[in-house]
Chains A and B, each alone.
Chain A
Amino acid sequence: MLENLAAMLIITTSIAFATAFLLSAQKMQSFAEKSAKASLVAGNYLESLRAQSISSLPDSGYLPPQTINIGNDVFILNVQFCPLGSFCNPDTRTVKISVTSRGKEYYQFQTTFTSLK
């Protein structure tokens, strides 16, 4: 009986380790996948900004958060124009983008747009 109990303990511990390892691998894979999708959300938004004139973009503050679905994942796109200390003038806008899903940030990006001359 003692040998059995010892064996059970060893197997249970092994299973617990294996489960933890697999769960963490799965979590990492899921994070990588979500990050790739979040970067796609941000990329799409930046692409849409290129089609707009700089002067039509806000020169401060946040846009209302946008909900974007990619496959089964739901992302929230947060856009801030001209964050504190950034480069902004009538021909230039700094944009800070953050993409979150279920309260967790998966992608953040900041860039400056300027008009073509």
Chain B
Amino acid sequence: MKFSPQRAFSLLESVVSLAITSILMAMIGSFALSVKNVSSHHSKRSELTQNLQGIMNYLSLDARLAGENLAPNFPAVLLSNSPLGSVLTLRRSLSQFPLPLCQDISAGSSLTQILVAKNGLTENGCSVSANLTAFHDWRNFALSRGFPIRVYLYDFTAREGFFLPIQGFEMESDSLILRLSSAHTFNRSFQIPSSIIYLLEQLTIRRDSQNRLLLDIDNENLTYTLGFNVSRLSIQIQTDSDLLNVFTPADSWVKIQSINFELQSSLPLRDQTITEVINFGLLPRNVLSFNLR
């Protein structure tokens, strides 16, 4: 029997090639894994950064508008603290003109309407002619927005106020009246000279226990989610002289130089947590109306 010689891999060649291939596969595998890790790390960080910047852009608009059409002694900016972080309230008047309270309201009284102008009443600027423009302005706002609207009755002496739902505007020959949605019982008194009614936009920025950043639109009784995965919200107010963690109605908002925000956003990634922090300061532009710089 005759064997013809054939060309083929020797056992040694096959083993060596297998070894080289295995090493290469291991290298490629480990490279691919590390690329995947780095890429998901980067993608999570970008997600966090975009989340924080989106929140910042939204807050910038509202913080800069705070105090619009409001008096220096009206509390346009409030800052308090809760166990979940800072709580910031920003206010602006949606109408250039407030309306006066033209009747005394005693504690415990139940009313279905409020007098905002009456001829012959000189106190608090209560004449009809002085308030007609504001009255029409408010009524047009309500007609465009739809009833009821919520107005803010504020006592400058006690520095307290609250929202009232308004269902209609009534003009009589010698008076202007806001009709309430239903009979309202007042738990404190309001006196004519110190009480003013505002068409107010009130926004409250806070964090909840599910790490959401929430925006309460108090004048409309609505809450929006501004962002997710916000693990910390810290706000401070820089005035001409102090850096404050709390800003009360007794503090003058026209002295604000900056509302400083620190937002931290975190996301879990396998066995670690990725965290991004953003710091920014915003100046409510309306302070410039009182302090020309």
B-binding residues in A (CB < 8 A): 1, 3-4, 7-8, 11, 15, 19, 22, 26, 29-30, 33, 36-37, 40, 43-44, 47-48, 50-54, 70-71, 115-116
Contact = CB atoms under 8 A, between A and B. Distances in A.
B283 A47 contact: yes
Main secondary structure of the interface of B (DSSP, over half): helix
Given A8-B24, A51-B293, A115-B293, A44 B17 contact: no
B46 A29 contact: yes
Would you list the 6 A-B pairs with minimal beta carbon distance, nearest first?
A53-B293, A51-B257, A4-B17, A51-B283, A50-B283, A71-B277
Interface in B232-259: 257-258
Interface in B70-127: none
Contacts of B11: none
Contacts of A3: 17
A29 B285 CA distance: 34
Interface of B: 13, 16-17, 20-21, 24, 27-28, 31, 35, 38-39, 42, 45-46, 49, 53, 56, 257-258, 275-283, 285, 287-288, 292-293
Contacts of A51: 257-258, 283, 287, 293
Nearest to B285: A50
B267 to A, nearest CB: 14
30 contacts: A1-B16, A1-B17, A3-B17, A11-B28, A15-B28, A19-B31, A22-B35, A26-B38, A33-B45, A33-B46, A33-B49, A40-B53, A40-B56, A40-B280, A44-B280, A47-B258, A47-B281, A47-B283, A48-B258, A48-B283, A51-B258, A51-B287, A54-B293, A70-B277, A70-B279, A71-B276, A71-B277, A71-B278, A115-B293, A116-B293
